[in-house]
Amino acid sequence: MVKASKRAKIKKNDQVVLMAGRDKGKRGRVLAVAPLRGKVKVEGAGMIKRHQKPAGNRGGGIIDKEAWIDISNVQIVDPQSGKPSRVNYKIEGDGTKFRVATTSGHSLEK
């Protein structure tokens, strides 16, 4: 069975704000995106403890790491105002498609 792909409007290295959960209001950079599962990992948010065995050159112990967060619980930071915003798409005259912040209309592409 082939899973349908979903489009994630949030990409790696985007600045986002958490809108729900125990880390509500925190800001961070997106470390990873899993579009099929609809999840993201945000730097410093959703921290969990993992008991890890020593393997190879890394030691064991209890480590802190980021858990997957549902993509619906994060919003991108508007580059103009610094406030949370939804993401839209615009198509230029030459056919290039790029992401824009809904609140200000400013481009999110670097």
Query: Domain coordinates of the chain in residue numbers?
Result: 15-78
Query: pTM of the full predicted structure?
Result: 0.83
Query: In the CATH scheme, what is the code of domain 15-78?
Result: 2.30.30.30
**Quick one: pLDDT at residue 5?**
66
Strand partners, 98: 90
Spans of the chain, pLDDT less than 50? none
Query: Tokens 């993401």 map to which residue?
Result: 87
**Quick one: pLDDT at residue 1?**
57
39 vs 9, 16, 21, 34, 76, CA distance in Å? 12, 13, 14, 5, 14
Whether the Cβ atoms of residue 58 and residue 68 lie closer than 8 Å to each other: no
